[in-house]
Amino acid sequence: MNPDWHRTLQQLLDTDAELVVSDPGGEITFAAPLARAWRLDTDDADCLWLRPLSAPVTGEDGTTVFALNQCPRRALQLADVRTDSGELVMQLRSGQRARIRPATGAAVDVLAAWDTFVGARLDAAEELALDALDEDSWTGRYA
């Protein structure tokens, strides 16, 4: 695979992106806005880790928060990746197709809430832990 897609991925995440996964017949099976972090697995360079976001909730103090166990990291097992009109199009080993594209509609609102939550609520260690994408569950605050 051509590593130039890494640059496109980073640009998409920096400017609000969403993930859309469809089955081989084209039916959408999953869609969610994406946190800004990503990584390739060190043992399998064809495994892309991302953090899809769930909808925010109202915290005990009435402010918007995210239940971080509802935003677990996800792995995409890549067979092929290409860029298409500013989007990433990935053929997955499962036969599914995934697209990372600019966020639209409600996804933009979720990403704005995420940025506010991360900036206002998480300390540096918590933010680094989330960005590392190496844990399957969250045991800290906002579980």
**Tens-digit pLDDT profile for residues 79-109:** 999 999 999 999 999 999 999 999 999 999 9
DSSP state of 26: S
CA–CA gap between residue 56 and residue 59 (Å, rounded): 9
Instruction: Indicate the pLDDT class of residue 2, thresholds 50, 70 and 90.
Output: low
Task: Kindly list the domain boundaries of the chain, sorted by start residue.
Answer: 4-132
Pick from 63, 38, 59: nearest CA to 143: 59
pLDDT at 3 over 80: no
Residue type, 35: A
Predicted pLDDT of residue 12: 97
CA distance 9 to 35: 12
The pTM of the full predicted model, rounded to 2 decimals, is 0.93
pLDDT in tens, 24-72: 999 999 999 999 999 998 787 799 999 999 999 988 888 889 999 999 9
